[in-house]
Amino acid sequence: MEEQSQDDGVSRRGFLLTSAAAAALAATAENPRPAAAAATAAPAEVVEVALEVNGKARTLALDPRVTLLDALRERLDLTGTKKGCDRGQCGACTVHVDGRRVLSCLTLAAGLGGKAVTTVEGLAEGDRLHPVQRAFVACDGLQCGFCTPGQVMSAVALIEEGHAGSEAEIREYMSGNICRCGAYQQIVQAVRMAKEEA
Amino acid sequence: MARPSMDRIDARAKVTGAARYSADHKLPGMVHGHLVTSTIARGRVVSMDLDAARAAGGVVEIYTPDHRPAFQGALTGLAAVFAETRPPLADREVHYHGQIVALVLAETVEQARDAAALIRVTYEAQPPNSSFEDAKEHAVSPPSVPGLPLGVPIKEPENVDIKAALAASEVTIERTYEIPPRHHSMMEPHAAVAVWQDGRLTIYSGTQGPAAHAMELSGVLGVEQADVHVISPYVGGGFGGKAFTWAPAMLAAAAARELGRPVKVVTGREQLFTVTGHRAASSQTFALGARRDGRLNAIEHATISQSLGEDPGYRTTPKYYAAPNVHISMKITPGLDLPTATIMRAPGDESGSFALECVMDELAEELGMDPIELRMRNYLESTLKGKLPYSSKHLDECYRVGAERFGWSRRGERPGAVTDGEWQVGMGMATAVLDAGRAPTTVRVAFRPNGTATVGNATSDAGTGMWTVMAMTGARALGLPADRIRPALGDSALPFAGSSDIYGAVGSAATATVTPAILTAAREAIAKLAEHAATAEGSPLRGADDVRYAEGRLTGGGKAVTFGELLTLTGTAEVGAQGTSADLDTTHAYASYAAHFCEVRVNRWTGEPLLSRFTTVVDAGAILNAKTARGQITGGVLFGLAAAMCEEGRVEGATGRISNANLADYLLPVNADTVEFDVHFLDHPDTRLSPTGARGIGELGTVGAAAAFANAVHNATGRRVRTLPITPDKLLA
Ligand code: FES
Ligand code: FES
């Protein structure tokens, strides 16, 4: 019998997040989160971020640990962007920052001052769906729908990037978005259809 | 005949982000829960240092084995067999790596997460018994579970001497097939948002069976079933992993009651691998005895697995081939320090079909016979036991049409015969059989003044297309366009019949179960509406004795009115009725079938096996919505192929830890791994099963797909890989 201690007081991710945030605040980073100081330090740990989300200017007062994904979901009630893994491994959280696709679970909100964020909620114009959204509906590019916001955001970006040339190219560039339901062939059809329209 | 085909009615909500899944709900005053899981697989918690976590900002409460929210009971019904019966935080004992040891509740997600990371746990660790490999040698016969046929030996005839029958056969082969643990890995992690009001629980929790989820939670929480309201209109994938209730939902509900505040618990991706169920590893040995002409004389099928929940022998072997001597048995390895095994898409059928359809391929090779020919020589016309005829079986047509579409005649008979540059090209096929059935269920259909009609049942749609199929069936039954039907599902307050349909969308039976009940309920609702037209104050048809309904209009006494106008005139919110489908005709057996054809290309130098073509021909009765049915088949096939191509939960025997419990290391197929599948539906409605003639398809594609891949790899390379997945190292070794 052996005594063993679960001493992962700072998980790798926790470390990365807190240290990145601390660096951003130009605060001391040698001990990213001293436990004893946490309670007292908590009220001071707020950063203000002014950014644009789906065309609207927003100013957020945030805990620096907040990821873009959690800022959208928990602070702005934009829950269309999904958390599939929170580790950059599934693509469900894909959004656009200044027109480029990023994984919002790996992006700290505090670093996005002055940037423009587009989420799946920001694609349609009123009742009129974006051509990619229309194509996903028409081609049945979804089943459970949980990966769909990320797939749609990736599809919009890859068409704009000029990476929707062939089926093989679409498959390659859509491979950062896992679909456990296996709607891949319908997703490829949707990307092709949307590209024709674009 | 053009097959009906309609866009998913839930698609718009899903492509715009408007669809709210469990974790998307936010309630005033809600606290966020974060789970802490054990870093040993066996032993006990000696102490927990919570000081730092308690001191961290925003922490509201920390539950541990010494201080846990109250649970009054245990899981009941099938969940007692297929889910984790020990309540979370029950005591300080640790039974597997990744077991919940604490729940931290805080005002924000970040506060809960980071406080959880500050908890220090000291364990008294013992060497775990986590290796299935080692445990196989000590496998035992499973205890019998009343009412469950799983794990019970099957003998045909009753006094069969299988060893003698095998010995007396002209040709015999014996082979063992190994499948590693697999994880559902649905994209939506288990999550629950729970709130109590006046002793009643409302819980947003993704589930395949809202009513069963309510029943199970009520048992655990010690409240009436009617006092638990499960809301789950959108489910981000289930695959059997959301058929039963797991700890995250129990903890959310219990903590919310304790704290008097709404609680959200979202399971982390790596936590999902351990705190919810998985498919256990299995080892299957087949011995086949045959005549030189291919006729089977004896089938022996022996399985070892962690639990009896996915008995491949029971699920597979009696349904495929005729043989005069059959012996099926199962052993289990109880007491492993591993997470709980449950059911996963095509439970037993997937693993069983892999082994059976591979061993048939091996026998065909041994006999020098075409694999389809061997299967046709042993075609099963009635059930092995009881000799019930099949209601509608067109598997022979599946083989014929599939071989033609795929170009089976171009298959090189000799393995390794076909090459294309540095690629070895091979073809393989396999059969899929999936029991079809349905339970009587209750549906409510109601007319409303705005000209729409509701169709409600406590089933679910985790991507199956049920929303749309309900709308289409309601439209057909009421003679209305589908956009005037408002389906309702994913809510435990909706109707269901009882114990047989309470589990909602499981066993690929939801469409076959719900659609006939819609027809019945529609008839009842139309009768109610006609009566209302003839009697209600304000009705233009009042007093008429010849009221008839057709396509949304009522006529009688020479007058006509739409039901929307009628209900508006009579000032009635709705007129509707419940209807319950008839019992199943038990004079026949029911199953869905498919023939899969797979082509792979294996690189001569790297051993990499690439999927290059796949054809499947499906005999599943009437196809109610070709569009969503196609997705069920293509997705199902890929789910099955994934077992052959890449999926494998890796348990470290020494620590009991799953070393690849994340989506970067637990490999799932991505878009670039797949090709466009050629899916063809035979259209033979099974009207003996139900008036809609539809059988289940949700799991059918999954069955047999891995065997088709493995057989193709063998045809390409001459190498027979019997341990999944088929990775390059196994082809180069
Ligand atoms: S949630 Fe961001 S990649 Fe999975
Ligand atoms: S639609 Fe379910 S994961 Fe893609």
Residue A3 belongs to a domain: no
- For residue A171, the domain's CATH number is 1.10.150.120
Residue B450's alpha-carbon distances to B11, B440, B477, B481, B531, in angstroms, are 23, 31, 19, 14, 19
Q: What is the pLDDT of residues B155-192, one digit of tens each?
A: 999 999 999 999 999 999 999 999 999 999 999 999 99
Same domain? A129 vs A197: yes
Domain edge (last residue) among A107, A122, A137: A122
Domain edge (last residue) among A105, A122, A139: A122
pLDDT, mean of residues B140-169: 95
- Residue B118 corresponds to which tokens in the numbers above? 């500050």
Q: What is the pLDDT of residues B641-677, one digit of tens each?
A: 999 999 999 999 899 999 999 999 999 999 999 999 9
pLDDT value for A12: 36
> Distance (Å, rounded) from C-alpha B423 to C-alpha A100?
38
Element containing residue B466 per DSSP (H, E) = helix B466-478
* Chain A residues whose beta carbon lies within 8 Å of the beta carbon of residue B646: none
- For residue A90, the domain's CATH number is 3.10.20.30
> Distance (Å, rounded) from C-alpha B292 to C-alpha B500?
45
Q: Report the catalytic residues of B.
A: 699
Q: What is the pLDDT of residues B397-432, one digit of tens each?
A: 999 999 999 999 999 999 999 999 999 999 999 999
Element containing residue B613 per DSSP (H, E) = strand B609-619
Same domain? A129 vs A188: yes
CB atoms within 10 A of CB B386: 8
CB atoms within 10 A of CB B650: 13
Report the SS3 class of residue B49. strand
* B269 CA → ligand 1 middle, Å: 10
Report the SS3 class of residue A153. helix
Nearest CA distance, A23 vs chain B (angstrom): 18
List the single residue in B8, B118, B185 with the smallest CB-CB distance to A9: B118
pLDDT, mean of residues A120-148: 97
User: Which residues have a Cβ under 8 Å from the Cβ of B301 and sit 6 or more positions away?
Assistant: B284, B285, B286, B312, B313, B316, B317, B326, B327, B328, B329, B352, B355, B356
Same domain? A115 vs A129: no
What residues line ligand 1, using a CB cutoff of 6 Å? A 83-86, 88-93, 103, 105
User: Which residues have a Cβ under 8 Å from the Cβ of B270 and sit 6 or more positions away?
Assistant: B98, B661, B662
Which of B253, B174, B269, B188 lies closest to B219 in space, CA to CA?
A: B253
- Residue A122 corresponds to which tokens in the numbers above? 């920001």
pLDDT, mean of residues B360-375: 98
pLDDT, mean of residues A68-97: 98
pLDDT value for A21: 40
Q: Please state which of the ranges B351-360, B525-534, B687-696, B713-722 shows the lowest mean pLDDT.
A: B687-696
Q: Is the CB of B671 less than 8 angstroms away from the CB of A145?
A: no
pLDDT value for B2: 59
Q: How many domains does chain A have?
A: 2
Q: From the CA of A82, give the closest atom in ligand 1.
A: 1
Same domain? A112 vs A144: no
Report the SS3 class of residue B339. coil
Residue A15 belongs to a domain: no
pLDDT bracket for residue A29 (50, 70, 90): very low
Same domain? A106 vs A165: no
What angle separates helix B510-535 from helix B466-478, to the nearest 10 degrees?
40
Nearest CA in chain A to B22: A79
Burial B574-585, CB ≥16 within 10 A → b, else e: bbbbbbbbeebe
Residue A11 belongs to a domain: no
Q: Is the alpha carbon torsion for A16, A22, A24, A30 positive or negative?
A: negative
pLDDT bracket for residue B384 (50, 70, 90): confident
What ipTM score was computed for the predicted complex, to two decimals? 0.96
pLDDT value for B158: 96
pLDDT value for A26: 32
Element containing residue B81 per DSSP (H, E) = helix B79-82
Same domain? A106 vs A141: no
Cβ within 8 Å of B, A 106-145: 119-121, 123-124, 129, 133, 136-138, 140, 142-145
B611 beta partners: B600
pLDDT bracket for residue B139 (50, 70, 90): very high
Q: Is the CB of B631 less than 8 angstroms away from the CB of A177?
A: no
Cβ(B616)–Cβ(B700) below 8 Å: no
pLDDT value for B573: 98
Which of B152, B153, B148 lies closest to B78 in space, CA to CA?
A: B148
Domain edge (last residue) among A122, A155, A170: A122
* Chain B residues whose beta carbon lies within 8 Å of the beta carbon of residue A146: 21, 186-188, 236-237
DSSP state of A122: G
Residue A123: how many CA atoms within 13 Å on its side-chain side? 29
Same domain? A197 vs A139: yes
Q: From the CA of A106, give the closest atom in ligand 1.
A: 2
Residue A21 belongs to a domain: no
Cβ(B630)–Cβ(B694) below 8 Å: no
Cβ(B726)–Cβ(B609) below 8 Å: yes
Q: Out of A105, A107, A154, give the residue to mutate to test ligand 1, the one with the largest number of ligand atoms within 8 Å of its CB.
A: A105
pLDDT surpasses 70 at B130: yes
Same domain? A117 vs A51: yes
Residue A103 belongs to domain spanning: 45-122
List the single residue in B57, B235, B671 with the smallest CB-CB distance to A39: B57
Judge residue B27's burial from the number of C-beta atoms within 10 Å of its C-beta, 0-12 exposed, 13-18 middle, 19 or more buried: middle
Nearest CA in chain A to B31: A74
pLDDT value for A2: 39
Q: What is the pLDDT of residues B191-250, one digit of tens each?
A: 999 999 999 999 999 999 999 999 999 999 999 999 999 999 999 999 999 999 999 999
- Domains of chain B (ranges, CATH numbers): 11-127+184-275 (3.90.1170.50), 282-437+587-732 (3.30.365.10), 442-580 (3.30.365.10)
Q: What is the pLDDT of residues B75-121, one digit of tens each?
A: 988 999 999 999 999 999 999 999 999 999 999 999 999 999 999 99
> Distance (Å, rounded) from C-alpha A101 to C-alpha A98?
8
> Distance (Å, rounded) from C-alpha B157 to C-alpha B287?
17
Cβ within 8 Å of A, B 41-100: 43, 46, 51-53, 55-58
% of residues, chain B, pLDDT over 70: 100
> Distance (Å, rounded) from C-alpha B262 to C-alpha B213?
19
Q: Which residue do the tokens 């990213």 mark? A: A32
Judge residue A25's burial from the number of C-beta atoms within 10 Å of its C-beta, 0-12 exposed, 13-18 middle, 19 or more buried: middle
Nearest CA in chain A to B676: A185
pLDDT bracket for residue A7 (50, 70, 90): very low
pLDDT bracket for residue B385 (50, 70, 90): confident
pLDDT, mean of residues B675-690: 96
Residue A34 belongs to a domain: no
Q: Does residue A198 or residue A102 have the better pLDDT?
A: A102
Nearest CA distance, A116 vs chain B (angstrom): 19
> Distance (Å, rounded) from C-alpha B181 to C-alpha B286?
20
Which of B53, B320, B140, B545 lies closest to A9 in space, CA to CA?
A: B53
> Distance (Å, rounded) from C-alpha B640 to C-alpha A101?
31
Look up the pTM and report it.
Answer: 0.94
What is the phi/psi pair of residue B64, to 5°?
-140, 175
Q: Is the CB of A2 less than 8 angstroms away from the CB of B125?
A: yes
pLDDT surpasses 60 at A22: no
Cβ(B312)–Cβ(B348) below 8 Å: yes
* A86 CA → ligand 1 middle, Å: 5
pLDDT value for B449: 98
Residue A147 belongs to a domain: yes
Q: Is the CB of B187 less than 8 angstroms away from the CB of A147?
A: yes
> What ligand has the least distance to the C-alpha of A81?
1
Mean pLDDT of all residues belonging to chain B: 96
pLDDT value for A25: 36
> Distance (Å, rounded) from C-alpha B132 to C-alpha B481?
55
Report the SS3 class of residue A67. strand
pLDDT surpasses 80 at B339: yes
Residue A109 belongs to a domain: yes
pLDDT value for B273: 98
pLDDT, mean of residues B695-718: 96
Same domain? A130 vs A197: yes
Q: Which residue do the tokens 């649905």 mark? A: B186
Residue B463 Ramachandran class (φ > 0 left, ψ -120 to 50 alpha, else beta): left
pLDDT value for B76: 87
Same domain? A70 vs A135: no
Q: Is the CB of B12 less than 8 angstroms away from the CB of A181?
A: no
Same domain? A68 vs A86: yes
> Distance (Å, rounded) from C-alpha B553 to C-alpha B697?
35
Residue A7 belongs to a domain: no
List the single residue in A5, A14, A82 with the smallest CB-CB distance to B114: A14
Report the SS3 class of residue A132. helix
Q: Is the alpha carbon torsion for B449, B234, B694, B342 positive or negative?
A: negative
Q: From the CA of A91, give the closest atom in ligand 1.
A: 3
> Distance (Å, rounded) from C-alpha B379 to C-alpha B32?
56
* A151 CA → ligand 2 middle, Å: 9
Strands across the sheet with A94-97, in order? A56-62, A47-53, A116-118, A94-97, A100-103
> What ligand has the least distance to the C-alpha of A95?
1
> Distance (Å, rounded) from C-alpha B596 to C-alpha B161?
34
Cis before residue B371, ω within 30 degrees of 0? Answer: no
Cβ(B697)–Cβ(B629) below 8 Å: yes
Q: In B542-618, which ranges are continuous DSSP H helix?
A: 563-570
Q: Is the alpha carbon torsion for B511, B513, B516, B518 positive or negative?
A: negative
* Chain B residues whose beta carbon lies within 8 Å of the beta carbon of residue A8: 39, 117
pLDDT value for A27: 32
Nearest CA distance, A114 vs chain B (angstrom): 23
Which of B500, B234, B238, B190 lies closest to B344 in space, CA to CA?
A: B238
> Distance (Å, rounded) from C-alpha A124 to C-alpha B35?
37
Cβ(B587)–Cβ(B388) below 8 Å: yes
Same domain? A91 vs A132: no
* A183 CA → ligand 2 middle, Å: 7
Q: Is the CB of A65 less than 8 angstroms away from the CB of B110?
A: yes
Pairing of strands B120-125, B93-94: unpaired
CB atoms within 10 A of CB B197: 9
Q: What is the DSSP string of B126-148?
A: ------HHHHGGG-BPPPP-TT-
> Distance (Å, rounded) from C-alpha B252 to C-alpha B246?
11
pLDDT value for A45: 82
- Residue A79 corresponds to which tokens in the numbers above? 């829950």
> Distance (Å, rounded) from C-alpha B263 to C-alpha B202?
11
- Residue A66 corresponds to which tokens in the numbers above? 């907040």
Substitution target in A74, A143, A156 with the highest count of B β-carbons within 10 Å is: A143
